[in-house]
Structure 1
Amino acid sequence: MFIETKNLTKKFGGLAAVNKVDFHIEKGKINAIIGPNGAGKSTFFNLISGFHRPSSGTVLFKGTDITKLPANKIAGLGISRTFQTTSLFEQSTVLDNVIVGHRLRTKSNLFDAILRTKRLKREEKACRDKAMEVIEIVGLTHASDKMVASISQEEKKRTAIALALATDPEIIFLDEPAAGINSDETQGLINLIKQLNQRGLTICLIEHKMSMIMNLADHIMVLNYGEKIAEGTPKEISSNDDVIKAYLGGSASA
């Protein structure tokens, strides 16, 4: 398995936000996690990406236990993510924001910065080149020199994806990429996600727009109150009685 969780659990006080979840992600596929508000979806992402340490259970990446690794080490292995609330430097340009992502792959230190060494200059150029490459991939070349504070919400979503891509990931976790954007913009984002997947990138996303998930995902897991209640193809999930009861047939808000 590409990524696998075994009995993954996270407790906050007496509350189990994620409770003994077994899940696997196949390389090259588009995976999705759905469920009502408070189901534990973002917490699950945080456990895999190292932002939270599990209370118990295991996270494996290509067969290697990464459960206790910090977020920067996990990112270095090729696991990247975006956040539900877009976290960008608002008073910097799109380009400068994305350049930060490729810093993960550089080796320059304070000594290099003080002396402006050849290594520093070489790596600065590599970061800029990589940033321009992924900005073009996400369709933001026209906005590369704009301040993030001045661009649209949809463009900020694309900037966040470009930042994640700049880390050279093998898999990217997208936390509600279509939140706060309209239907036309959502379709554009669907096209981008498909394009990234066709380039060989494995994708796992949390999303509330069910039509988007059902038309995009190869594999879906459903969480409810921190527990996995279903897993399968979109067709299997849409006809699952437990899912219909907990999510699809209830409130449209998740």
Structure 2
Amino acid sequence: MLEISTLSKRFGGLTAVSDVSTRIEEGRINAIIGPNGAGKTTFFNLISGMYRPSTGTIRLRGQDVTGLRADQMARLGVARTFQATALFETASVLENLIVGHRLRTRSGLWDALLRTRRCKAEERICRDKARDALDFVGLAHLEARPAGGITQEERKRVAVALALATDPALLLLDEPAGGVNPEETDGLAALIRKIARRGMTVCLVEHKMSMIMNLADKIMVLDHGEKIAEGTPAEIRKDQAVIDAYLGSDHADVQ
């Protein structure tokens, strides 16, 4: 799905990501872990088009997409969520989601001003897509609720629904279970599995190791911007460099 070769990002004298090469494998759940400051979010910002790499290449299904903007990557099928879910607080949940599918529409300013047939047809499509995404994440009952009045866990699901509304092939999830309790974490893990069963490729950054070890097919570990390990959960759990840098000996037996 995504092939990353010797990717680096420097901010002045600071190297946040250093010569990272990896593959995000199609149809699987890929995970990125590491201590705070390891470069995980910077790496996400690079592959989603938020940042331009200092060096290295990114290929999406063989196409060189290095340096493309976030909107261009989104049109190619790469969607992402963020650690903090920013919504239009006074708008309804459904209205927030309608924005997502606008990426796929063609109506312009004059269409909107003149209320053309194309504009009206695309509005219906956007509304239907938003409802489908909301139903998929289990929040159809909240479509009319103001976004400012929903829980943290529901905001996480709305963020996923917003990404799904763009019709992505690759979904990047930045700490999808951050700030929610263990029961809600299990529910979000089940949602991620449901997304993968739908045939979508998933890559997530997450600190909750029990969740990752039971969810991911493949894990990459970053430390100080460098890749120190990569493999299955069983391989990562036993990797001494990962234990020393991040997991600690207590996690070696996490099932």
1:233 aligns with 2:220: no
Q: Which structure 2 residue ranges, 5 or more long, are not aligned?
A: none
Structure 1 residues 184 and 9: CA distance shift in structure 2, 3 A: same
Shift of 1:250: 7.4
The letter of the residue matching 1:77 is: L
**What SS class does the counterpart of residue 53 from structure 2 fall into?**
coil
Q: Deviations over 1:83-111 (max 9, x none)?
A: 01112111111101111000000000011
The answer for the alignment partner of 1:107 in structure 2 is: 106
The answer for the alignment partner of 2:156 in structure 1 is: 157
The answer for the alignment partner of 1:135 in structure 2 is: 134
1:92 aligns with 2:91: yes
Q: Deviations over 1:110-166 (max 9, x none)?
A: 110111000000000000000000100000011111011100000000000000000
The answer for the alignment partner of 1:220 in structure 2 is: 219
Aligned counterparts, 1:58-73, within 5 A: 58-73=57-72
Output the CA distance in 2 between the equivalents of 1:142 and 1:185.
Answer: 18
The answer for the alignment partner of 2:55 in structure 1 is: 56
Structure 1 residues 36 and 251: CA distance shift in structure 2, 3 A: farther
The answer for the alignment partner of 2:35 in structure 1 is: 36
**What SS class does the counterpart of residue 75 from structure 1 fall into?**
helix
The answer for the alignment partner of 2:73 in structure 1 is: 74
Output the CA distance in 2 between the equivalents of 1:88 and 1:230.
Answer: 35
**What SS class does the counterpart of residue 6 from structure 2 fall into?**
strand
Aligned counterparts, 1:202-217, within 5 A: 202-217=201-216
Question: Structure 1-normalised TM-score?
Answer: 0.97
Output the CA distance in 1 between the equivalents of 2:187 and 2:41.
Answer: 23
**What SS class does the counterpart of residue 236 from structure 2 fall into?**
helix
Root mean square deviation of aligned Cα: 1.1
Shift of 1:251: 10
Output the CA distance in 1 between the equivalents of 2:88 and 2:200.
Answer: 26
**Identity fraction in percent:** 60
**Structure 1 residues 139-148 or 118-127, which shifts more?**
139-148
Output the CA distance in 1 between the equivalents of 2:134 and 2:31.
Answer: 24
Output the CA distance in 2 between the equivalents of 1:32 and 1:184.
Answer: 21
**What SS class does the counterpart of residue 60 from structure 1 fall into?**
strand
Output the CA distance in 1 between the equivalents of 2:13 and 2:184.
Answer: 40
Output the CA distance in 2 between the equivalents of 1:71 and 1:115.
Answer: 30
Q: How many residue pairs end up in the alignment?
A: 251
Output the CA distance in 2 between the equivalents of 1:215 and 1:82.
Answer: 21
Output the CA distance in 2 between the equivalents of 1:87 and 1:151.
Answer: 13
Q: Deviations over 1:164-200 (max 9, x none)?
A: 0000000100000000000010010011000010000
Output the CA distance in 1 between the equivalents of 2:111 and 2:197.
Answer: 38
Output the CA distance in 2 between the equivalents of 1:52 and 1:251.
Answer: 36
The letter of the residue matching 1:128 is: R
